[in-house]
Amino acid sequence: MGWRGAGLFLVMICLLGLVGFVQSWPLAFTILNLCLISAILSLGVNIQWGYAGLLNVGVMGFVALGGMAGIVVSMPPVTEAVQAGGGGILLALLIALVTAGAVWAAARALGGRLRMLAVTVILIAGAFLARSVFDPAVEAIEAVDSARTGFLGGLGLPILFSWIVGGIFAAGAAWMIGKVSLGLRSDYLAIATLGISEIIIAILKNEDWLTRGVKNVTGIPRPVPYEVDLQDAPYLIDLADRWGMSIVDVASVAVKLCYAGLFLAVLLIVLWLSERALHSPWGRMMRAIRDNEVAAEAMGKDVTARHLQVFVLGSAVLGVAGAMLTTLDGQFTPASYQPLRFTFLIWVMVIVGGSGNNWGAVLGGFVVWFFWVEAEPIGLWLMDLMTSGLAEDSALREHLLKSAAHMRLMTMGAILLLVLRFAPRGLIPER
């Protein structure tokens, strides 16, 4: 990492401390927790973009899939709904699988016109058959106390398991996308990932039986104690007295510290694995492929297979981070997945931090998230200062103040363009 990197990390810690002193300590730790998750997301994108030069425009989709794992693993099962429609859903999935198998077999066995015809007929027949089982099942599930549940629920396991399951979900989706679009022009992966991420979000928003859709799932079990319980703990009351802080703040900080510990552990594991991978023969091969695909292929490397491998690995990391995010929020809100926040912000983190360098990606995650959160107070303050010469009720002043929120979009675009052009190697350049 070197002195420069260490210095930058130190500055980052000081900035977080500053927020603690100037604004409040619970806020500082909220930012820290999201910085840690952002760093993991950023590592995931760095594995794809930094190691292999693969452009993932659908980061959001993989994060959301990971987030869904949070529900599937940890929510208690809704027994009534499972009895009402669980079998139907399973049967529909089975029909879909059989249809896919039949299409595959038909595509292999037949040729020419007949193949097109057979595939179309099987697809349409399969779709109608599956829907005829699926629709009543969904209706039955969604009818079960729809104001409170109306979905299948989950497995009722501790939520920490979802971090692994989320990684597996995301890796599975990535494998399918990669299988289709890798090995073709680089643009195709970008467009395919853009498409799959939008479809994943659409599914999460509309399939109420799975995720309750836009009704959101709240009250997801936590891996750490609740603030209310901690507020009665004698040692915390004692601490609060000694530091002169309110017990509410101390309890909130304590909970956030628990999360921070968990997240830091994951971050360190992912970072350690990434560093090991990058400096192994495998990592050197990946970079060789990135820098000159033709030469690497001539040396006997299977470029497409390696790309698929690295794409799946990176997406798995994204899925893990997505599950962690749901864990931290304690709720799953499909509508909150926006490309700006979950795809492009992560890219800016990687590019600002230094693509190809794991420490750079981590630093980028911290720095960019910090300014993303603090940009609003800073921006509002700036706008207020700049327009202070105008009259209090001036229409221009009002428009500018109201539009300050849209400045984020422009700022992200401008940062991306400026860094890409003037400092393409980022804060901590690749060695």
| Pairing label, strands 217-218, 331-332 | antiparallel
Residues 313-342 close enough to bind other proteins by CB under 8 A: 340
If binding is defined by CB under 8 A, does position 268 make contact with other proteins? no
If binding is defined by CB under 8 A, does position 295 make contact with other proteins? no
If binding is defined by CB under 8 A, does position 180 make contact with other proteins? yes
- Binding segment for other proteins (CB under 8 A), chosen from 167-175, 232-240, 302-310, 401-409, is 401-409
Question: In the bound complex, what is the minimum distance in angstroms from residue 196's beta carbon to other proteins?
Answer: 7
**Which helix (DSSP H) or strand (DSSP E) does residue 407 occupy?**
helix 407-422
If binding is defined by CB under 8 A, does position 42 make contact with other proteins? no
* CB-nearer residue toward other proteins: 82 or 203: 203
Question: In the bound complex, what is the minimum distance in angstroms from residue 180's beta carbon to other proteins?
Answer: 5
Q: Which of 11, 90, 184, 269 forms a contact with other proteins (CB under 8 A)? A: 184
If binding is defined by CB under 8 A, does position 137 make contact with other proteins? no
Question: In the bound complex, what is the minimum distance in angstroms from residue 313's beta carbon to other proteins?
Answer: 19
If binding is defined by CB under 8 A, does position 350 make contact with other proteins? no
- Binding segment for other proteins (CB under 8 A), chosen from 155-163, 177-185, 313-321, 382-390, is 177-185
Alpha helices of 244-332 — where are they, by DSSP H? 247-278, 281-291, 293-298, 303-329
If binding is defined by CB under 8 A, does position 382 make contact with other proteins? no
Q: Are 322 and 349 in contact (CB under 8 A)?
A: no
- Token pair listed for 143: 């009818």
Give the chain's largest Cα–Cα span.
Answer: 82
If binding is defined by CB under 8 A, does position 190 make contact with other proteins? yes
Q: Is 388 left (phi over 0), alpha (psi -120 to 50) or beta?
A: alpha
In the DSSP assignment, the letter for residue 335 is G
If binding is defined by CB under 8 A, does position 191 make contact with other proteins? yes
Q: What span, in angstroms and rounded, lies between the C-alpha atoms of 6 and 19?
A: 20
If binding is defined by CB under 8 A, does position 199 make contact with other proteins? yes
Question: In the bound complex, what is the minimum distance in angstroms from residue 202's beta carbon to other proteins?
Answer: 6
Question: In the bound complex, what is the minimum distance in angstroms from residue 333's beta carbon to other proteins?
Answer: 17
Specify burial of residue 407 (Cβ count, 10 A radius: 0-12, 13-18, 19+): middle
Q: How many other C-beta atoms can be found within 10 angstroms of the C-beta atom of residue 24?
A: 15
* CB-nearer residue toward other proteins: 181 or 274: 181
Q: What span, in angstroms and rounded, lies between the C-alpha atoms of 400 and 404?
A: 6
* CB-nearer residue toward other proteins: 258 or 415: 415
Q: Which of 90, 143, 378, 417 forms a contact with other proteins (CB under 8 A)? A: 417
What secondary structure does DSSP assign to 39-96, as a single string? HHHHHHHIIIIIIH----TTHHHHHHHHHHHHHHHHSPP-HHHIIIIIHHHHHHHHHH
If binding is defined by CB under 8 A, does position 188 make contact with other proteins? yes
Please give the single-letter amino acid code of residue 263.
F
CA dist list (Å): 321 to 65, 164, 199, 326, 425:
10, 10, 20, 9, 25
The CA-CA-CA angle for residues 36, 40, 45, to 5°, reads: 140
- Token pair listed for 98: 């059989």
Q: Which of 12, 16, 27, 55 forms a contact with other proteins (CB under 8 A)? A: 55
Q: Which of 96, 164, 264, 407 forms a contact with other proteins (CB under 8 A)? A: 407
If binding is defined by CB under 8 A, does position 195 make contact with other proteins? yes
* CB-nearer residue toward other proteins: 242 or 421: 421
Q: Which of 34, 133, 192, 204 forms a contact with other proteins (CB under 8 A)? A: 192
* CB-nearer residue toward other proteins: 93 or 417: 417
* CB-nearer residue toward other proteins: 26 or 126: 126
Question: In the bound complex, what is the minimum distance in angstroms from residue 373's beta carbon to other proteins?
Answer: 18
Q: Which of 90, 109, 117, 202 forms a contact with other proteins (CB under 8 A)? A: 202
Please state at what angle helix 395-403 crosses helix 358-386, rounded to 10 degrees: 170
b/e burial code for range 57-89 (CB count within 10 A of at least 16 → b)? bbbbbbbbbbbbbbbbbbbeebeebeebbbebb
State the residue for tokens 């100037």: 22
Q: Which of 224, 420, 425, 430 forms a contact with other proteins (CB under 8 A)? A: 420
**Site residues for other proteins per CB under 8 A:** 53, 55, 57, 124, 127-128, 132, 135, 180-181, 184-188, 190-192, 194-196, 198-199, 202-203, 205-206, 340, 344, 347, 351, 403, 406-414, 416-417, 420-421
